[in-house]
C-alpha cells in the first residue's frame, strides 16, 4: 500500500541536494544540485520539440545509463544559443564532475528560463562550487532545491511516498517538479518548461525505461497549460538501489507507487499554470482507441474557449462539444454523454447526445458546479472501452499579463 509522507527528493536513502544563489537571477535561488552517494540507474524523458535546448541535446548525446548527480539552473534556458550553448552545457557537467569527483558522463544537466540568452558561466561555476559544498539531506535541502529551479511557479511541487515491495523491501520515492507556463509535455524516453527529478532507493535496471515511458504517458504527458511544448522539458528518474532487495522492474507495488507520485505531480503542475485559478480534469471513456481518448483529452484542455468558459463559470457546454467535434476521434453523437463535476456536485449535461436540462434553474446548477477550484469534465463517447485522464487549467487575464511581460 502506498503511504504519503512528508518528504522530497532527499527522502530516499543516499540522496543529497542543494539550492543556492549564483547570480543568474537578481536575488532568488537559481542553481540546484542533486547528488546520489552511489551511481543510480537513470531513466530520462526528453522534449519531443524539434527545437531542443542545449542541455537536452547534450544529455541525449553524452550521458550514460548511470547518473550520480544532476545540476539545474533557472533564469536562463540555454536554448537557441548555438555552439556556445552546447559548450556551456558541457562545462556545467564538467565543473560539477570535478567538484564531486565524478565522471562527466555521470552528471545530468537541465536549464530553464529565458530563451535566446547566453549563459554567464562565471556565475554558474561559482554556483556549482557553492552547491557542491552545501549538499545535505532533509526538508530544508528539498526546499532549497525546489526554490532554485522555479521560474513563474507560485508553489513548490513535490511529493514523497513509501511502499513495501512484494519481497518485503521498504522503499521510498521522492519527486520535485517545476512548470507553470509553456506546458504541454510530450516527453519520450531516449528521444516555460517542465523539469522533474524523481529519486528512489529501489533497485531498478535500465529495462525499466519502457515502464517509465508508460508512466510519463499517463501523467506529465497528459498535462497541458497552454498547448505549447517547451524546448527544455526533461524528466529524470534516479534509482540508486540503496534500499536493497530484488530488482523492482516488474514489482506491481513499485509501479503503483511511482504512478501515484507522478500523477500527483502532474495535477500540481496543471493547478499552478500561469495565472490559473482552477484545475481542469478531463476524463474520457467509451473511446474506440487509447489514441482517440488521449487526443480528446488534449483537445478539450487546450481549447481557449473551454478554458475561458471554466474561468468564468460559464455553462456553455457547446464549447466542449465543439472541441469533441474538432478532435478527430471517433464517436457516436447519439450515444455521447457529458457530465460536469465540481466539488460535491455532479451534473449531467448531455445524455444520448441531447441536453438533459433546458430551464434557467438547471443552467444555474451547472454554473455552481463550475464555480469550484477543481472542475472535472467527463465525456463518454459510446463507441468503445478505452479511457484517458488529463489535466489543465483555466485561461485568465493574468496568463496574458505574465506572458506579455515575461522577457521584460
The C-alpha atoms of residue 79 and residue 83 are separated, in whole angstroms, by 11
By the 8 A CB rule, do 167 and 181 touch?
A: no
Report the run of H or E that residue 143 belongs to, with start and end: helix 139-148
Q: What CA dihedral angle connects 14, 179, 379 and 309, to 10 degrees? A: 150
CB neighbour class for 287 (10 Å; exposed up to 12, middle 13-18, buried from 19): buried
Active site residue 193: yes
Which helix or strand (DSSP H or E) is residue 170 part of?
strand 170-178
Cβ–Cβ < 8 Å for 230, 183: yes
Neighbours of 170 (CB within 10 A): 14
Which triple of cell numbers denotes residue 111? 536549464
Dihedral angle at the C-alpha atoms of 33, 34, 39, 45, nearest 10 degrees? -100
Yes or no: say if 304 and 280 are a contact pair by the CB < 8 Å rule: no
CA dihedral defined by 304, 277, 111, 17, rounded to 10 degrees?
-150
- Choose the catalytic residue: 193, 200, 299, 339: 193
Distance CA(243)–CA(264), nearest Å, equals: 23
Residue 312 phi, psi (nearest 5): -90, 5
Q: Measured between alpha carbons, how far is 388 from 381 in angstroms, rounded to an integer?
A: 12
Angstrom CA distances, 333 to 275, 343, 380, stand at 34, 28, 10
DSSP letter at 104 equals G
Query: Under a CB-based contact definition with an 8 Å cutoff, are residues 259 and 88 in contact?
Result: no
Q: In whole angstroms, what is the distance from residue 306 CA to residue 282 CA?
A: 11
- The answer to whether the beta carbons of residues 300 and 320 sit under 8 Å apart is yes
Give the span between the Cα atoms of 217 and 49, in whole angstroms: 16
**251 with 346: CB under 8 angstroms?**
no
Q: Is 61 exposed, middle or buried (0-12, 13-18, 19+ CB in 10 A)?
A: exposed
Q: Which residues are catalytic?
A: 193
Amino acid at each position: 500500500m502506498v503511504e504519503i509522507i512528508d518528504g522530497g527528493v532527499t527522502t530516499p536513502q543516499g540522496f543529497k541536494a542543494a539550492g543556492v544563489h549564483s547570480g543568474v537571477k537578481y536575488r532568488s535561488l537559481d542553481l540546484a544540485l542533486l547528488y546520489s552517494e552511489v551511481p543510480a540507474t537513470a531513466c530520462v524523458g526528453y522534449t519531443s520539440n524539434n527545437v531542443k535546448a542545449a542541455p537536452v541535446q547534450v544529455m541525449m548525446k553524452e550521458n550514460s545509463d548511470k547518473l550520480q548527480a544532476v545540476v539545474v539552473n533557472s533564469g536562463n534556458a540555454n536554448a537557441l544559443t548555438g555552439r556556445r550553448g552546447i559548450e556551456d552545457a558541457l562545462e556545467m557537467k564538467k565543473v560539477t564532475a570535478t567538484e564531486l569527483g565524478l565522471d562527466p558522463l555521470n552528471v545530468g544537466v537541465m536549464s530553464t528560463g529565458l530563451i535566446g540568452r547566453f549563459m554567464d558561466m562565471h556565475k554558474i561555476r561559482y554556483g556549482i562550487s557553492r552547491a557542491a559544498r552545501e549538499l545535505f539531506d532533509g526538508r530544508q535541502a528539498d526546499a532549497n532545491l525546489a526554490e532554485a529551479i522555479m521560474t513563474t511557479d507560485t508553489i513548490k511541487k513535490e511529493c514523497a511516498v513509501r511502499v513495501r515491495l512484494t519481497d518485503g523491501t521498504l522503499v521510498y520515492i521522492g519527486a520535485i517538479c517545476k512548470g507553470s507556463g509553456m506546458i504541454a509535455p510530450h516527453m519520450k524516453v531516449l528521444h516555460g518548461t517542465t523539469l522533474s527529478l524523481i529519486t528512489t532507493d529501489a533497485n531498478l535496471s535500465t529495462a525499466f525505461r519502457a515502464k517509465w515511458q508508460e508512466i510519463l504517458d499517463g501523467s506529465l504527458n497528459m498535462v497541458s497549460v497552454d498547448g505549447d511544448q517547451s524546448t527544455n522539458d526533461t524528466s529524470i528518474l534516479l534509482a540508486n538501489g540503496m534500499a536493497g532487495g530484488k530488482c523492482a522492474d516488474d514489482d506491481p507495488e513499485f509501479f503503483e507507487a511511482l504512478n501515484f507520485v507522478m500523477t500527483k505531480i502532474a495535477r500540481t503542475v496543471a493547478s499552478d499554470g500561469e495565472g490559473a485559478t482552477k484545475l481542469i480534469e478531463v476524463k474520457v471513456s467509451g473511446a474506440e482507441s487509447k489514441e482517440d481518448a488521449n487526443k480528446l483529452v488534449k483537445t478539450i484542455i487546450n481549447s481557449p474557449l473551454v478554458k475561458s468558459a471554466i474561468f468564468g463559470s460559464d455553462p456553455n457546454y457547446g464549447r466542449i462539444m465543439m472541441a469533441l467535434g474538432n478532435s478527430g476521434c471517433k464517436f457516436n453523437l447519439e450515444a455521447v454523454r457529458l457530465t460536469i463535476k465540481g466539488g460535491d456536485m455532479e451534473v449531467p449535461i448531455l445524455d444520448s447526445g441531447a441536453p438533459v436540462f433546458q430551464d434557467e434553474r438547471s443552467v444555474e446548477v451547472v454554473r455552481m458546479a463550475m464555480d469550484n477550484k477543481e472542475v472535472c469534465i467527463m465525456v463518454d463517447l459510446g463507441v468503445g472501452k478505452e479511457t484517458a485522464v488529463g489535466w489543465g487549467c483555466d485561461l485568465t487575464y493574468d496568463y496574458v499579463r505574465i506572458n506579455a511581460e515575461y522577457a521584460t
